[in-house]
């Protein structure tokens, strides 16, 4: 089953620096698709996310994994400006996992 955002998540503020979901909620998400951009320098991760999000159905979730230290902030800012919601991120060994909900 692919992930969807729930009503509580949809109502939370979507400030670019604030997580709208708790870490334990993020760990339990079912994602629609995964973009693995580990090892790619900026702006490649953001470009991959822009291409992939177009294929994600409304209400579904894209997970992106990045190792470039600048990529998480770039992706969060872009998501906010583009009308998507960054649900949050999880740190893993050597990379970040970001979760983007397609809202439009």
* Catalytic residue ranges: 42
Cα 65 from Cα 5, distance rounded (Å)? 19
**Which among 48, 20, 21, 47 is positioned nearest to 34, based on CA atoms?**
48
Cis peptide before 43 (omega within 30 of 0): yes
Enclosing H/E stretch for 63 = strand 61-66
């Amino acid at each position: 089953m692919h992930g969807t955002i729930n009503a509580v998540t949809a109502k939370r503020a979507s400030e670019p620096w604030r997580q709208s979901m708790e870490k334990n909620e993020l760990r339990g998400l079912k994602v629609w698709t995964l973009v693995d951009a580990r090892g790619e320098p900026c702006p490649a991760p953001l470009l991959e996310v822009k291409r992939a999000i177009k294929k994600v159905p409304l209400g579904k979730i894209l997970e992106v994994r990045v190792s470039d230290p600048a990529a998480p902030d770039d992706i969060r800012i872009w998501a906010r400006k583009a009308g998507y919601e960054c649900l949050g991120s999880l740190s893993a060994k050597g990379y970040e996992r970001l979760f983007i909900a397609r809202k439009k």
